[in-house]
Amino acid sequence: MAKLKVGVLISGRGSNLAALIDAAKAQDYPAEIGCVVSNKEAAPGLAIAAAAGIATAIVSHRDHPDRESFDRAVSAQLERHGVELVVLAGFMRIFSPWFPSRWRDRLINIHPSLLPAFKGLHVQRQALEAGVRVSGCTAHLVTPDLDSGPIIAQAAVPVLAGDTEETLAARILRQEHRLYPLVVRWFGEGRIAIDGDRVTVTGVACDATLLFSRET
């Protein structure tokens, strides 16, 4: 059975990319990374991809007059490599409506909060200022509305006394590295079913789409 061809978009260090690469090494993993595209030439994640023998491309947003022309250039790279699922892994660009429409139901992101709480940037600061006791990350489909697409799965972590933005972010990131490869696996296994604004994972218990961490 052919593996799902994944394209990963990055802007920075590529830690989630590295987690996906490690997961794809397993013989039974149903997805493979066909290409990695960055909008920044100096993104460290490009070296991670190259070391794994994965094709890379740089599409600078500075070379395009508007968001849609940039989005179309990124899409052309993905299409060139036969990508079927687009995975955002620290991609720090806001799309025009064209891109999520072009890749509708085949474009996913992981956000470092339990959506719909704390959208946008500085989410750990938002969580600490709100005094929440639990935070985490959310894998979701991408729509034209920022951080508002249908939720696929979440991972929760405790917010501890004395936490800073950095310590909370590090705890959440470890769960992103668990959750994202799992969600891509479900896509590769054909388990993802989308009905309007709701996502179900066929053959997976509902509580298995929420991971808990009790690490301190």
Residue of 61, 64, 81, 111 with catalytic role: 111
Pairing mode, strands 151-158 and 210-212 = parallel
pLDDT band, very low/low/confident/very high, at 46 (cuts 50, 70, 90): very high
CA angle 59, 61, 64 (to 5 degrees): 100
pLDDT band, very low/low/confident/very high, at 206 (cuts 50, 70, 90): confident
Burial (CB < 10 A; 0-12, 13-18, 19+), residue 184, is buried
> What are the tokens at 7?
């394209």
Share of the chain above pLDDT 70, in %: 99
Q: Please check the confidence at residue 97 and state whether its pLDDT lies above 70.
A: yes
For residue 177, indicate whether it is catalytic. no
The tens digit of pLDDT for each residue in 120-165 reads 999 999 999 999 999 999 999 999 999 999 999 999 999 999 999 9
CA distance 61 to 181: 28
pTM over 0.85: yes
